[in-house]
Structure 1
């Protein structure tokens, strides 16, 4: 099969298209013919080995070489074969999954426990836009944010991959949602269901006098101390990401926020979905929202499989609205 293999850290050109052996599913695994995958910051952090502090962290990007040879954390495709212990899927089933890596290939093996049926109303392209980004938004709002109906929720970074899902999910949970984004995406975020939209080029959301019970900070564009000003005394700040750096950021910013948590009245939490053990359950929960018409993936660009390096390069620029998707057919 063909796959993009990463042998060493570096720019997208380090992703080399190669012919490698097709994987064979273990007893508890399912072999998937990949029909679509997506590109996100998760991938290029592993590709470049940045921030450098992540190379020293357990389960991180790898110390001297990438810990994941084939990137791609989102997969949508068709079951090709199943291991002998698999009972919930059979060849021909349409599925999607969030995995640690392997999506930048024609085939990938996925544990049955990580797999879910593809939402019936989504194409493979749309389904590939969902797993990591929507899962992150769900964990940030429901698990770490403890969102409740009627709460005032602010999403900083409302037009990106995670943000577009966060706005829709917050509305689905019954919250009153304010989104923060740039000028060109104001209408999009409003169309996703935001009750109010703040254009960060025209106003500083930390100084508008509004108060929120929950702030989901994806963009990381303002200091945590400033973000806390817009929270109610018992409000919750959830860190999701922030501007990337070569040495420490965004990890340093997020850990600094957690370090302050014991000394403030508000809750401070971090949405770390890659360590979540409930991805299958989360995908099923997301499927309900999607099939009910409450959540729809927003796709900025779609690339063919042959152009995966170009897709990564575009996503790395940080200007994508919604998701960047790759189709294999």
Structure 2
């Protein structure tokens, strides 16, 4: 155990910006060959699909570099291509010149097909506003990258909160093409002015994990800034992107945060507000935490499920185990939309049938757009109540290496890609 005294080891770190530079565990073996062909086509040397985007969606006079894949073959299938810069097709959209973006675990998972069934359906539903609908919209070419920072290039005629030239940060919804490109198109409701206390790289490291964490705590965990003070929360996976943000957010709300992570990250996690820290590799950790009990909430950001921890929750007080690794997308990928949904419902019902008898709940959590929460997070970051935690910054040309680093796991905080020279 690493108790509250550990915070003395990193005095003042609460208001610092953490930036770790670590070598890659292994060398990227895939060679990404670049061929810049006709503008409008995302080019990849193994591409079998020519997906010419609709002409009215693009500026034919200009182009941009973009990382794309034409198949669910993982990192090895990603190539650097050239595409036309998008126009702003919807009144509520903004076009942003990207200064930096980050890599989240969902990005590397999507390169292997994770969530393809549900995301394809979401793309089809999004096209209903144009009067068309397809059950499973084609996925390729696919560009990943959920959060970004940059400069507003164009705005839709319905956008009132942003203007050309604003320095912003934001999130691209999973059904849209991602931010690992020189320009990105996003809904204005998912974009806001970036605090001037941040660099572009720091700004790109926060939005997606911030809104995912907010959703997990407030929607699934029923923990709010007004009810959180005095609550006791167990945080599994405390040193990753979600964990480092969640620890700071809950601490600012007055929550007693007890964290589980690797021993190497104790000092980092202590500096972010955790009162007690345990080594996930220590066989006694689980036993100690279960015997202590009295947790109002368990937030599982570790990427693996361990239902034994449910026993550490209080009984009959509305306490919940909230996981950020639900089986929904894996089930739909394997079984299709309908059967996968049914299987997922059965799984969550079965787990709750066991836990609700003891007055405890098992819940899922996902990223959810929330403009009001985004503004509150921006305010907290501007006041240094929450600081970015960056593992390493890669250049745009090193994007596949950034994917590899994230896929290997166990990083401290976020992995960022910069487009600035």
| TM-score, structure 1 normalization | 0.89
C-alpha distance in 2 between matches for 1:221 and 1:253: 17
Report the equivalent of 1:179.
Answer: 259
Report the equivalent of 1:202.
Answer: 282
The 8 Å contact of residues 238 and 260 in structure 2, kept in 1 or not, is answered as yes
Report the equivalent of 1:134.
Answer: 210
The 8 Å contact of residues 49 and 61 in structure 1, kept in 2 or not, is answered as no
**Unaligned segments of structure 1, at least 5 residues:** none
Whether 1:46 and 2:110 are equivalent positions in the alignment is yes
The 8 Å contact of residues 61 and 68 in structure 1, kept in 2 or not, is answered as no
Alpha-carbon shift at residue 220 of structure 1 (Å): 4.6
Change in CA separation of 1:254 and 1:324 when aligned onto 2, cut-off 3 Å: farther
C-alpha distance in 1 between matches for 2:104 and 2:380: 22
- SS, match of residue 48 in structure 1: coil
C-alpha distance in 2 between matches for 1:318 and 1:254: 29
Report the equivalent of 1:231.
Answer: 313
Residue of 88, 92, 98 corresponding to 1:34: 98
Report the equivalent of 1:106.
Answer: 182
The 8 Å contact of residues 206 and 229 in structure 1, kept in 2 or not, is answered as no
The 8 Å contact of residues 30 and 109 in structure 1, kept in 2 or not, is answered as yes
Report the equivalent of 1:96.
Answer: 169
Alpha-carbon shift at residue 241 of structure 1 (Å): 2.3
The 8 Å contact of residues 216 and 237 in structure 1, kept in 2 or not, is answered as yes
Alpha-carbon shift at residue 83 of structure 1 (Å): 2.1
Whether 1:324 and 2:408 are equivalent positions in the alignment is no
Alpha-carbon shift at residue 222 of structure 1 (Å): 5.1
Q: Which of the two has higher C-alpha Rg?
A: 2
Whether 1:315 and 2:388 are equivalent positions in the alignment is no
The 8 Å contact of residues 390 and 413 in structure 2, kept in 1 or not, is answered as yes
Residue of 312, 317, 324 corresponding to 1:240: 324
C-alpha distance in 1 between matches for 2:191 and 2:182: 17
Whether 1:2 and 2:65 are equivalent positions in the alignment is yes
| TM-score, structure 2 normalization | 0.70
Residue of 14, 17, 23 corresponding to 2:86: 23
Whether 1:217 and 2:280 are equivalent positions in the alignment is no
The 8 Å contact of residues 70 and 141 in structure 2, kept in 1 or not, is answered as no
Report the equivalent of 1:193.
Answer: 273
Change in CA separation of 1:58 and 1:300 when aligned onto 2, cut-off 3 Å: closer
C-alpha distance in 1 between matches for 2:253 and 2:234: 14
- SS, match of residue 169 in structure 1: helix
**Unaligned segments of structure 2, at least 5 residues:** 1-63, 124-135, 335-340
C-alpha distance in 2 between matches for 1:242 and 1:158: 18
Change in CA separation of 1:255 and 1:13 when aligned onto 2, cut-off 3 Å: farther
Alpha-carbon shift at residue 157 of structure 1 (Å): 0.2
The 8 Å contact of residues 45 and 61 in structure 1, kept in 2 or not, is answered as no
Q: More deviation in 59-68 or 297-306? A: 59-68
Alpha-carbon shift at residue 122 of structure 1 (Å): 1.1
Report the equivalent of 1:298.
Answer: 389
Report the equivalent of 1:80.
Answer: 153
The 8 Å contact of residues 41 and 315 in structure 1, kept in 2 or not, is answered as yes
- SS, match of residue 84 in structure 2: coil
Change in CA separation of 1:305 and 1:195 when aligned onto 2, cut-off 3 Å: same
Structure 1 residues 106-125: aligned runs within 5 Å: 106-125=182-201
Deviation track 1:6-43 (CA, whole Å, cap 9, x = no partner) reads: 11111213111111101111232211000000001111
Alpha-carbon shift at residue 178 of structure 1 (Å): 0.5
- SS, match of residue 232 in structure 1: coil
Indicate the RMSD between aligned Cα atoms, in angstroms.
2.6
C-alpha distance in 1 between matches for 2:84 and 2:150: 19
Number of positions where the alignment pairs a residue of Structure 1 with one of Structure 2 = 320
Deviation track 1:228-247 (CA, whole Å, cap 9, x = no partner) reads: 11111032111112899898
Deviation track 1:179-231 (CA, whole Å, cap 9, x = no partner) reads: 1000110111111110000111224443111221110011154521x111111
Alpha-carbon shift at residue 277 of structure 1 (Å): 4.1
The 8 Å contact of residues 80 and 91 in structure 1, kept in 2 or not, is answered as yes
Change in CA separation of 1:102 and 1:58 when aligned onto 2, cut-off 3 Å: closer
Q: Which of the pair is proportionally richer in strand?
A: 1
